[in-house]
């Protein structure tokens, strides 16, 4: 079954809006694990507007499932944070400073040599590496040349097109997934996946290992409760 990694950035956003430590980010992460999530994802940004750098240290000390740290490896502070915490996985995302949310994958052709160096840096420390890419077979193929273990397909375009033509929306992702299999890459996916579109995506994407879901899942938890929400997302990922 495809693994569910819960991105807890939005828990941190809510906490930071009021100050203090409510809701407690670590307690929320541990609850996600207790309710069945197989991983915890965080995406710290330089302004710490949601996940704080200290949160990463606190989470690393306590969580028992896979720990995935996403972020921009063009920031030295991010590199240092990842190396200090040695997560299960680092996902390299080409965010710009001040970007509200991730909105594109790497150009793995243009940045191939740079990404090779970054991938080697993290893999030498025993950290699994995933590169955030658009569903483009050329980008997938070039990603394999960096030495990365996995790619994460950026799924906003799928989510936007799903309600109009689900088959057309998923088609580029199917071809990207087949290319990933062909070149020996593990496959993750994330961004705007939710209870409406996740099951279809999982059923039509070969070799999908993990999805990272935050905004939609935390939003659903406001209505359904966290335990029930995680249960429903896990059900959507059953083969």
What domain range is 144 assigned to?
3-236
Catalytic residue from among 43, 50, 152, 210: 43
Mean pLDDT per segment of 10 residues, for the chain of length 239 residues?
97 95 98 98 92 97 98 93 98 74 80 97 98 97 98 97 98 98 98 97 98 98 98 94
Q: How many domains are contained in the chain?
A: 1
- pLDDT at residue number 46: 87
- pLDDT at residue number 95: 74
CATH value at residue 172: 3.20.20.70
Cα separation values, 22 from 11, 18, 169, 221, Å: 9, 8, 39, 16
- pLDDT at residue number 97: 59
The rounded distance, in Å, linking the Cα atoms of 98 and 195 is 29
Convert 23-58 to b/e letters by CB count within 10 Å (16 or more is b).
eebbebbbbbbebebbbbbbbbbeeeebbbeebbee
The pTM assigned to this predicted structure is 0.95
The rounded distance, in Å, linking the Cα atoms of 109 and 107 is 5
- pLDDT at residue number 99: 53
DSSP class of residue 43 equals -
Burial of residue 112 (number of CB atoms within 10 Å: 0-12, 13-18, 19+) = middle
Catalytic residue from among 33, 50, 152, 191: 191
Catalytic residue from among 33, 50, 70, 152: 70
HEC profile of 99-148: CCCCCCCCCCCCCHHHHHHHHHHHHCCCCEEEEEECCCHHHHHHHHCCCC
- Per the annotation, the verdict on 191 as an active-site residue is yes
Count Cα neighbours of 35 within 13 Å in the Cβ-side half-sphere: 22
């Amino acid at each position: 079954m495809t693994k569910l990694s819960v991105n807890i950035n939005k828990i941190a956003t809510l906490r930071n809006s009021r100050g203090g430590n409510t809701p407690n980010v670590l307690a929320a992460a541990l609850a996600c694990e207790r309710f069945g999530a197989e991983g915890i994802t965080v995406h710290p940004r330089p302004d710490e507007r949601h996940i704080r750098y200290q949160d990463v240290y606190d989470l690393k000390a306590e969580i028992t499932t896979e720990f995935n740290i996403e972020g921009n490896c063009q920031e030295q502070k991010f590199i240092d944070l990842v190396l200090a915490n040695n997560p299960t996985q680092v996902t390299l995302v080409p965010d710009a400073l001040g970007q509200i949310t991730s909105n594109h994958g790497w150009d793995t052709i243009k940045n191939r040599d740079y990404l090779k160096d970054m991938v080697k840096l993290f893999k030498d420390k025993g950290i699994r590496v995933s590169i955030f890419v658009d569903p483009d077979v050329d980008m997938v193929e070039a990603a394999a040349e960096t030495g990365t273990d996995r790619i994460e397909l950026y799924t906003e375009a799928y989510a936007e097109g799903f309600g109009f033509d689900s088959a057309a929306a998923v088609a580029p992702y199917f071809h990207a997934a087949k290319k990933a299999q062909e070149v020996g890459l593990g496959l993750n996916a994330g961004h705007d996946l939710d209870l409406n579109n996740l099951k279809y995506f999982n059923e039509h994407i070969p070799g999908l290992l993990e999805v990272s879901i935050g905004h939609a899942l935390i939003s659903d938890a406001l209505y359904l409760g966290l335990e029930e929400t995680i249960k429903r997302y896990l059900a959507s990922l059953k083969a």
